[in-house]
Structure 1
Amino acid sequence: MQLIGMLDSPYVRRVAISLKLMGIPFVHRPLSVFRHYEAFAAINPVVKAPTLVTDNDIVLMDSTLILDHAECLIGADRRLHPITPSERDRSQRLIALALAACEKTVQIVYERNLRPAEKQHGPWIDRVRGQLVAAYDLIEDEIGDGEGWLLSSPRPLQADVSVAVAWSFSRMMIPDLVDAGVYPRLVASTARAEALPEFLDTPAT
């Protein structure tokens, strides 16, 4: 299968790392939705990253839906979602918060980089930043003592991947708006994940 998109997208990076953790082989094609628009559109006319072309040549998009497809390809021992309802609910909450943080980071980056300074709307940026900070505040509270993986699993699961990718992305793109000193447990959790071979082999560049 082929994963289309740049690793500086947290959504693409989330999928790539997850596929590696699940042991699912794939070919990464680093096409940008901006710089390689026509080439991307030839694969997926919607030009949405990540895009996955399955082994059956089905074109999928949206990181969560792509990862749902991937989970169906492997045994339970390699899946990244917990099985028990209570643990799955907590996992889904952490993932949702991480994805919300990614979304708000992207909105701020687009506002800053794509909209002329005189047209940027301060109250909108303040609102989005408030949502971003709220997401990370809640994740910090959920992490607990910061020891081990987020769901007390012997191995990293999707919540660990999503949270780490989100925090690394925000710190890379808008470090002035997310103070690492406020989130010591989140910083420690991310550092633990980023030290894994699957993360190291999938840099956000």
Structure 2
Amino acid sequence: MKLIGSLTSPYVRKVRVVLAEKKLDCPFQEENVWSDDTAIGGSNPLGKVPCLVLEGGEAVFDSRVIVEYLDTLSPVGRLIPASGRERVEVKTWEALADGLLDAAILARLEATWAGRNDAERCQAWIDRQLGKVHSSLRAMSQGLGDKPYCSGSHFSLSDVAVGSALGWLEFRFAQLDWRTAHPNLARLMDKLMQRQSFIDTRPR
């Protein structure tokens, strides 16, 4: 199998971190979905990354679907509980982190997409999306509290998803300064950045 993605995408980073934590060998094919000659449509009709192409040529897409599949391929470092409330908690953390990213990316596209000129951009829309980012950060901080990891005492997909989201905010929205507002999230991110999987996938 191979992973198609971008080195700056936080959703791709989430998948790459899971691959590393699960010790799964998977070639990476870089793809710019914004390029006029992108070939991503041949694998994912939605035109998005990440996209995991299996050995038989079948494509698996959406990062949440991909990481769920990858977690079943190896017993090493189980990241998603098998069932029950623990599983729901981890998947809810992932949904929160992905939702934060969805809003932040919409805000950034509204402000920077070359397909629009300055007169066509809507500051009210940007503010609305950033409001979702800030409320998501508050929810993350409250949910983390003084726990060592998002879902308790063990590293899980919750932390992979939250770390990928926070890392992208640092990369694209440094002006938000979420670290000062939420020092417990900053401590979590610093701890995650000591893991080789996060070091190797830092957006650039």
* Inter-partner Cα distance in structure 1 for 2:85 and 2:42: 42
Identity %: 26
TM-score by length of 1: 0.90
Distance 1:2 1:181, change over 3 A: same
CA distance change for structure 1 residues 152 and 46 in 2, over 3 Å: closer, same or farther?
closer
Q: TM-score, normalized by length of structure 2?
A: 0.91
Give runs of ≥4 in structure 1 deviating > 4 Å. none
Residue pair 2:144, 2:150 contacting (<8 A) in 1 also: yes
1:80-99, aligned counterparts within 5 Å? 80-83=79-82, 85-99=84-98
CA RMSD of superposed structures (Å): 1.8
Report the Cα distance in structure 2 between the residues aligned to 1:192 and 1:158, rounded to whole angstroms.
15
2:201 pairs with 1:199 = no
Q: 1:93 to 1:117 in 2, by over 3 A?
A: same
Matched with 1:107 is 106
How many matched pairs?
A: 202
What are structure 2's unaligned runs of at least 5 residues? none
Q: Which moved more, 1:126-135 or 1:175-184?
A: 175-184
Going from structure 1 to structure 2, the CA distance change for 1:80 and 1:40 (only over 3 Å counts) comes to same
| Structure 2 residue aligned with 1:52 | 52
> 1: CA distance between counterparts of 2:149 and 2:7?
23
> Does the CA-based 8 Å contact 1:5-1:31 persist in structure 2?
yes
State the Cα distance separating 1:12 from its structure 2 match.
Answer: 0.5
Match of 1:137 in 2: 138
Alignment gaps of 5+ in structure 1: none
1:50-79 Cα shifts (integer Å, max 9, x gaps): 11101222111110011122123223x532
Query: What is the CA–CA distance in structure 1 between the aligned matches of 2:65 and 2:189, rounded to whole Å?
Result: 24
Question: What is the CA–CA distance in structure 2 between the aligned matches of 1:197 and 1:19, rounded to whole Å?
Answer: 12
* Equivalent residue, structure 2, for 1:21: 21
